[in-house]
Amino acid sequence: MDQFVMENKREEESLDSKYMKGVRHLCDSGVTRLPTKYILPVPDRPASTSPKGWANSPRDDQRKPSLHLPIIDLSELRQDSNRRSNNHVLRSLAEACEEHGFFQVVNHGVPAEVLRSMVDVSRRFFELPFEERARHMSSDIFAPVRCGTSLNQRTDRVFCWRDFLKLSCHPLPRTLPHWPSSPPDLRQVAVSYAQQTRSLFLVLMGAILETLGVEDCKPMMEEFQEGTQMVVMNFFPACPEPDLTLGMPPHSDYGFLTLVFQDGVRGLQIQHRGDWVTVEPATADSIVVNVGDHLEIFSNGKYKSALHRVVVNSAKPRISLASFHSLPAATVVSPAPHLVDAHNPRRYLDTDFAAFLAHLSSNETKGKSFLDSRKLHACPS
């Protein structure tokens, strides 16, 4: 009996070691059935949480409920600032942040070749031999550069079908030497992508502060200039049993804004009026933007961070690029004073990036758990 228990324990440790090596490693080993570690409880599976008749299969793609997010044309925001107070784009931006927590931007100024090159180099990184990728693997969420799997392999009871490479991007002179040197062009391509998305974030935040009635945006915009940025390259391999798992579970993002570029394979879903719906790209080069928890706190609940998730499929791998932006790590995020009064009392505790990391390191990522931990529950949500 003791020998049987010991053999089972060794087998479990061997499987755990394999899972920690990532989904790409599992696929390379020839897995044809979804390992138990990746199988969600029935109520959490995509087919169980989607509208009746929806199926997560390529042949049923046309049956998936989809959502065309509000489209913000940034060329119209670059007009004379004296005209912006009446700009219908600002009104559309405010409505998108209130109703959806998501929108898409076009004419955003990020060159198409920068987007395409970043997808290409991401794909080539995840195609590297395991030994090369393993040089950057870590379960330390505080690491400035980290290759890993799932969301947090330290705390996730069920792993999600996803590998990632996270690159801390600010300040670049300090973080760049730690980035992978393979593929040889990764650093050059990723620097360009980080700089372009950072510029886009600053344009968007300037407009969003205007929609919130911030009279003097300059001090906060100067803080955003020195704020945190994390670029995450996500890889979702084709999955043998996509109905049993997710590429990423329902969650919200911690910062002010997240900018996402997809490679053309659908998979991003948001929760909209109680249903999970697939985001339809506006154009091949459009960028999806979502409100983060810090912006919800700063707006005192006026703008909502939205729950979103990623579904996978059995036919095609998928690449997505997410750029997360917020204030400097040590800066405290609080509800804006002018958005707090007797009729709209303060709804959130102060927070900072350290509080988020502490929460992430000790809790399973689920829903809007971090934001819920910052809510003053005596106030209406």
Per-residue pLDDT of the chain (381 residues; tens, 9 = 90+): 455 434 444 444 444 567 778 999 999 989 899 999 999 999 999 976 554 434 444 444 444 567 788 999 998 776 655 555 558 889 999 999 999 999 999 999 999 999 999 999 999 999 999 999 999 998 777 788 999 998 777 778 899 999 999 999 988 999 999 999 999 999 999 999 999 999 999 999 999 999 999 989 999 999 999 999 999 999 999 999 999 999 999 999 989 999 999 999 999 999 988 889 999 888 999 999 999 999 999 999 999 998 999 999 999 999 999 999 999 988 999 999 999 999 999 999 998 877 777 776 666 566 677 888 888 864 444
Looking at residue 360, its pLDDT comes to 66
Is 154 a member of any domain? yes
Do 336 and 219 form a contact (C-beta atoms < 8 A)?
A: no
Looking at residue 59, its pLDDT comes to 42
Is 162 a member of any domain? yes
Is 9 a member of any domain? no
Exposed, middle or buried, 17 (CB in 10 Å: 0-12/13-18/19+)? exposed
CATH at residue 126: 2.60.120.330
Residue closest to 290 by CA, chosen among 96, 89, 106: 96
- What would the pLDDT profile of 318-368 be if each residue is shown by its tens digit? 999 999 999 998 899 999 999 999 999 999 999 887 777 777 666 656 667
Is 2 a member of any domain? no
Residue closest to 223 by CA, chosen among 200, 206, 246: 206
Looking at residue 49, its pLDDT comes to 59
Is 224 a member of any domain? yes
Looking at residue 60, its pLDDT comes to 43
- The range of the structural domain enclosing residue 180 comes to 25-374
- What would the pLDDT profile of 234-285 be if each residue is shown by its tens digit? 999 999 999 999 999 999 998 999 999 999 999 999 998 888 999 988 899 9
Alpha-carbon distance values, 82 to 74, 79, 202, 222 (Å): 16, 8, 19, 21
Is 44 a member of any domain? yes
Is 189 a member of any domain? yes
Residues near 277 by beta carbon (within 8 Å), at least 6 away in sequence? 65, 66, 67, 269, 270, 271
Is 4 a member of any domain? no
Query: Domain total for the chain?
Result: 1
- Considering the entire predicted model, what is its pTM? 0.88
